[in-house]
């Protein structure tokens, strides 16, 4: 959320931190993740076919290439991260509205995000899996599902950063609440203790 907040301001302008602005950035990022999740739910996304921003250039962005060109121009012209972020959000919107194919939109988001470092597609995928698990486990309220999803995402990030103590602490906390975590190659899924598979 903090990185998203920082990218929303231009480096030449003084950025005034406040908890309200962080809440706004968190809300905007959550909304973006939900929209990317809708794109992911519409297709199977082979990220490896998109390449990366250096190797792939614009050829793998398909009909999203104009957005990619504007994204690159925004960063090359005075590191305009707010405009670059706007192009990323525009690619998502174009994919959802059917202006460009969903795979082109996801490839553009993947390549842009490799530059911005927000990990949007992996987090949206985790969120989708968690929401699917929550739908199978209606014993939890939507608020509880969201809280558990946030803890699972935090644990995933802690493992990525090799912060094993924090990852184990989250697992123990959820276990104490009767929630079992299952690490799979596709990501972590959760279920109430004693329930069948996901």
- Residue-level pLDDT at 197: 46
From 75, 91, 118, the end of a domain falls on 118
8 Å CB contact between 113 and 121: yes
How many structural domains compose the chain? Answer: 2
Interval 161-185: pLDDT, tens: 899 999 999 999 998 888 888 887 6
User: In terms of domains, do 102 and 79 share one?
Assistant: yes
Burial of 56 (0-12, 13-18, 19+ CB in 10 A): middle
Q: Is the pLDDT of residue 54 over 70?
A: no
User: In terms of domains, do 114 and 125 share one?
Assistant: no
User: In terms of domains, do 94 and 62 share one?
Assistant: yes
Confidence tier at 191 by pLDDT (50, 70, 90): confident
Confidence tier at 53 by pLDDT (50, 70, 90): very low
Domain that holds residue 137: 121-192
From 118, 145, 164, the end of a domain falls on 118
User: In terms of domains, do 171 and 152 share one?
Assistant: yes
User: In terms of domains, do 43 and 65 share one?
Assistant: yes
DSSP-assigned letter for residue 79: -
User: In terms of domains, do 24 and 114 share one?
Assistant: yes
8 Å CB contact between 68 and 113: no
User: In terms of domains, do 68 and 162 share one?
Assistant: no
Residue 197 covered by a domain: no
User: In terms of domains, do 57 and 108 share one?
Assistant: yes
Q: Say how far apart CA 54 and CA 167 lie, in whole Å.
A: 33
From 77, 94, 118, the end of a domain falls on 118
Interval 118-140: pLDDT, tens: 989 888 888 777 666 555 556 67
Mean pLDDT to the nearest integer, 60-73? 88
Question: Is the model's pTM score more than 0.75?
Answer: no
In terms of residues, how long is the chain? 198
Q: Say how far apart CA 153 and CA 26 lie, in whole Å.
A: 14
Q: Say how far apart CA 79 and CA 185 lie, in whole Å.
A: 36
Residue 147 covered by a domain: yes
Residue 198 covered by a domain: no
Residue 28 covered by a domain: yes
Q: How is residue 60 written in tokens?
A: 């793998």
User: In terms of domains, do 79 and 23 share one?
Assistant: yes
């Amino acid at each position: 959320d903090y990185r998203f907040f920082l990218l929303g301001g231009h480096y030449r302008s003084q950025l005034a931190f406040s908890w309200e602005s962080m809440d706004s950035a968190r809300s905007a990022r959550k909304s973006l993740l939900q929209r990317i999740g809708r794109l992911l739910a519409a297709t199977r996304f082979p990220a490896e076919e998109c390449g990366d921003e250096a190797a792939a250039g614009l050829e793998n962005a398909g009909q999203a290439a104009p957005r990619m060109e504007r994204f690159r121009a925004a960063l090359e012209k005075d590191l305009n991260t707010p405009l670059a972020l706007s192009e990323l959000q525009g690619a998502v919107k174009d994919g959802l509205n059917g202006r460009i194919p969903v795979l082109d939109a996801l490839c553009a988001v993947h390549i842009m995000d490799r530059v911005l470092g927000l990990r949007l597609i992996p987090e949206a995928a985790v969120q989708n899996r968690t929401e699917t698990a929550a739908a199978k486990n209606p014993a939890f309220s939507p608020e509880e599902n969201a809280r558990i999803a946030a803890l699972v995402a935090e644990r995933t990030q802690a493992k990525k950063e090799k912060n094993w103590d924090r990852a184990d602490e989250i697992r123990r906390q959820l276990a104490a609440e009767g929630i079992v975590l299952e690490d799979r190659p596709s990501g972590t899924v959760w279920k109430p203790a004693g329930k069948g598979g996901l």
